[in-house]
Amino acid sequence: MIWSVSWRNIWRSKTRSLVIITAIALGVFAGVYTIAFMIGWVNQRINGVINTEVSHLQIHQADYLETNEVHCYIPNIGEIRDNIANNEGVKAVSSRLIASCMISSAETSSGILLTGINPKCERETSNVHTKIIKGKYFEGVKRNPIIIGEKLAQKLKVKVRSKLVITVTEMDGTISGGAFRVAGIFKTANSAFDEAKAFVRISDLQKLLNIEDNVGHEIAILMNKNGGENIIAQKLRRQYPKLNIMTWEELLPDIKMLNESTDFSLYIYVVIILLSLGFGIVNTMLMVILERVKEFGMLMAIGMSKIRVFTMVVLETVFLSFVGGCVGIVLALGLIALTGKIGLDLSLWAEGLNSLGFEAIIYPEIGTVPVVVVTVLVIITGILSAIYPARKAIKLNPAEALRMDT
């Protein structure tokens, strides 16, 4: 009956209970929606990193990432690529030639990282082809087509079919150049990527670098799902001990840190919200105790033990918190479902966001774990907030409490 009494007690002062429930609901709503917003935001960034920029895993010659030298290539790259492709969980594998080069238009020039790819394989490992906003992905230009980012196109003041001259250092140190024509212009969420990267056919870059066939600087591996890359990385490290095999987290530790610190900081944020709500709950419950001094005196007089009185007050507080928490979570889940479909448009800040590699349209998302964690935190807040008022209640002297004019 204590559960029933506690539940009914919270509705004795409907207005007061509704005010505190609304406060809790709004706090939890804000907390849960912010978590979903941040998770969506960070996941979009990670998906961008994986699907557009680096894939799940990359393999290089041991010194390549430090030197970026043309001669630090992987020999017999075709066999290695085909072997990796046979592993379970691997979705696609692509080998690349990479050269630091100077790209020049009629107007200006810029230093970029030119990647030679097999467009057919690359479509499987990278989604750059889906980011084409002008022209086509290696179509429409027969000889020496090049795909460049929008930012680079703006910098070089070129458009589709414009001519660009690329200057590279060959294997033997000779400087050579070649003319390319813009086949397509892509735009990703990362403007730095768009400015610093360009793609040509691997055969064209081989000729330009005067490099032999069946070699490459990079193998990109895309997994069927996130999380499987660590297992395959371990296996490949045993298989190819001389090659440098790195997961996306190792290649971009800042993104890994962003991912990890986001989870932690979000829970800190929710705890701060709940802490401030907790003080509100304590205040409300102290008012409740003050108003019901005589009743608590009566309950202890007729034989209700202190632990039962304590439990009753704790239950009242937990019910208040739980109802508010549930309302907040349901509202937040509703908005997450809505904005998760249509997206939250932050285009006003697109330039700043893109410069940091973030999308301007955010699709909030949330898993079961954060919802469960927030629910548990709400209940804990209720219990902790009840301790002080409940102690006040059980410290009452029944005889004195019964004399009070409340």
Partner 1 sequence: MKVLDIQNITKVYTDSEIEVKAVNDVSLSFSQGEFAAIVGPSGSGKTTLLNIIGGLDKPTEGEIVINSMNINKLSSSELIHFRLHNIGFVFQAYNLIPVLTAKENVEFIMELQGKSKAEREKRSLELLSGVGLVDRINSRPAKLSGGQQQRVAVARALASKPMFVLADEPTANLDSKSTETLLEIMEKLNREENITFIFSTHDQRVVNKARRVITVEDGRIVSDKSNS
Query: Which of these, 100, 115, 106, lies nearest to 167 by C-alpha position?
Result: 100
Query: Closer to partner 1 at the Cβ: 1 or 342?
Result: 1
Query: Which of these, 243, 166, 249, lies nearest to 209 by C-alpha position?
Result: 166
Q: Which two tokens stand for residue 355?
A: 């410069």
Q: Please give the Cα distance from 341 to 390 (Å, whole number).
A: 45
391 is an interface residue for partner 1 by CB under 8 A: no
Binding mask 132-151 for partner 1 (x = CB under 8 A): --------------------
User: Among 212-220, 291-299, 320-328, 348-356, which window interacts with partner 1 (CB under 8 A)?
Assistant: 291-299
Angstrom CA distances, 151 to 34, 187, 231, stand at: 31, 8, 37
Q: Which residue has the tokens 């935190």?
A: 377
314 is an interface residue for partner 1 by CB under 8 A: no
Contact pick of 306, 361, 375, 379 for partner 1 (by CB under 8 A): 306
Window 8-67: residues binding partner 1 (CB under 8 A): 8-9, 11-12
Backbone angles phi and psi of 215, in degrees to 5: -130, 160
Q: Which residue has the tokens 């371990």?
A: 234
Residue 301 Cβ vs partner 1, minimum distance, rounded to whole Å: 5
Contact pick of 175, 302, 342, 348 for partner 1 (by CB under 8 A): 302
392 is an interface residue for partner 1 by CB under 8 A: no
Query: Which of these, 332, 372, 376, lies nearest to 40 by C-alpha position?
Result: 332
Q: Please give the Cα distance from 324 to 330 (Å, whole number).
A: 10
298 is an interface residue for partner 1 by CB under 8 A: yes
Q: Please give the Cα distance from 57 to 228 (Å, whole number).
A: 10
Query: Closer to partner 1 at the Cβ: 139 or 291?
Result: 291
Contact pick of 301, 337, 372, 376 for partner 1 (by CB under 8 A): 301
Backbone angles phi and psi of 213, in degrees to 5: -80, 160
Contact pick of 299, 336, 353, 377 for partner 1 (by CB under 8 A): 299
Contact pick of 286, 304, 326, 360 for partner 1 (by CB under 8 A): 304
User: Among 5-13, 76-84, 252-260, 347-355, which window interacts with partner 1 (CB under 8 A)?
Assistant: 5-13
404 is an interface residue for partner 1 by CB under 8 A: no
342 is an interface residue for partner 1 by CB under 8 A: no
Inter-residue contact 255 to 47 (CB < 8 Å): no
Query: Closer to partner 1 at the Cβ: 272 or 404?
Result: 404
Angstrom CA distances, 266 to 37, 201, 270, stand at: 10, 44, 6
How many residues are given for the chain? 406
- Cα radius of gyration (the chain): 31
399 is an interface residue for partner 1 by CB under 8 A: yes
300 is an interface residue for partner 1 by CB under 8 A: yes
Residues lying near partner 1 in the complex (CB under 8 A) = 1, 5, 8-9, 11-12, 294-295, 298-306, 308, 397-399, 402
